[in-house]
Amino acid sequence: MSTSIELRKVVKRFGAVEVIKGIDLDIAPGEFTVFVGPSGCGKSTLLRMIAGLENITSGDLLVAGDRMNDVHASKRGIAMVFQSYALYPHMTVYKNLAFGLETAGYKRAEIDRRVRAAAETLQITDYLERRPKALSGGQRQRVAIGRSIVRDPNIFLFDEPLSNLDAELRVQMRVEIAKLHERLGNTMIYVTHDQVEAMTMADRIVVLKAGEVMQVGSPLDLYNRPANQFVAGFIGSPK
């Protein structure tokens, strides 16, 4: 299932410091949106507010039209994949995938069905009985994504999930995530400071600078018609 996300004048302050400065944004159901911008511009904070891991100081967050500001993270139908994909080292891949479902009280047969379906999707079925230390970086990252898939979320949020991987693997995983999006059709937001990643993966790119949206558009729009010097410089268009 896929779901719309709307931000209405969303502000985030840490103490006196305003790090998100009134952002308006509409994300359509099933869209693959990339938030891109330099380090410290507020990408993670924005994602954490959408996920419910951080309070919104003012403004509104709507998911499928419902106001989410005060809804607990676990009730939002949103899964987040982080850069540091900390797997449980003493558990097999199967257990790593099953663990969240066990604590959420799912029945054994349902857990097994979901774990095997996710493993199939991510092509890690052969590794289910291995422990994380017997996996490559890419395989571990797939298990980390698998832990989100088993929850069957409406929305996937990725916060620089590939930045710990080497260049070759990063390219491979971009393709994998794009395929995942094709297969599942969920609304996905992908955060990166890497322009190439943004340009190659996005349906729509949101360029952020110091807590404000500089431009929203397709990769081609941004490249051909950058709204300002910052976007032009950041995207690398010839302007």
Which is nearest to 124 in space by CA: 110, 147, 143, 106? 143
- Cα–Cα distances in angstroms (integers) from residue 129 to residues 87, 126, 169, 209, in the given order: 14, 8, 23, 44
Binding flag, residue 19, ligand ADP (CB under 6 A): yes
- Min. distance of Cβ 72 from ligand ADP in angstroms? 19
- The strand pairing partners of 227, in sequence order, are none
Residue 88 interacting partner from Mg ion, ligand ADP, none (CB closer than 5 to 8 Å by kind): none
d(CA 141, CA 155): 18
CB of 162 to Mg ion, least distance (A): 13
Rank residues 40 and 236 by Cβ distance to ligand ADP and give the closer one.
40
The residue among 44 and 148 lying less far from ligand ADP, judged by its C-beta, is 44
Instruction: Select 82 or 99, whichever has its Cβ closest to ligand ADP.
Output: 82
Give the nearer residue to Mg ion in terms of CB position, either 44 or 187: 44
- Tokens describing residue 149: 């898939």
- Interacting residues with Mg ion (CB under 5 A): 44
Footprint (CB under 6 A) of ligand ADP, residues 30-69: 37, 39-45
Amino acid code (one letter) for 4: S
161 binds, among Mg ion, ligand ADP, none (CB under 5 to 8 A by kind): none
Residue 215 binding ligand ADP, by CB under 6 A = no
Is the Cβ of residue 143 or residue 213 nearer to ligand ADP in the bound state? Answer: 213
Q: Residue 161 corresponds to which tokens in the numbers above?
A: 């999930």
Q: Among ligand ADP, Mg ion, none, what binds residue 41 when CB lies within 5 to 8 Å by partner kind?
A: ligand ADP
How far apart CA 158 and CA 81 sit, in angstroms, is 5
Q: Is 14 in the site for ligand ADP (CB under 6 A)?
A: yes
d(CA 69, CA 88): 31
Q: Which of ligand ADP, Mg ion, none interacts with 226 (beta carbon under 5 to 8 A by kind)?
A: none
Site membership for ligand ADP, residue 163 (CB under 6 A)? no
Cα 103 from Cα 92, distance rounded (Å)? 16
Torsion (CA) 230, 232, 233, 239 in degrees, nearest 10: -130
Neighbour count for residue 199 (Cβ, 10 Å): 18
Which residues contact ligand ADP (rule: CB under 6 A)?
14, 19, 37, 39-45
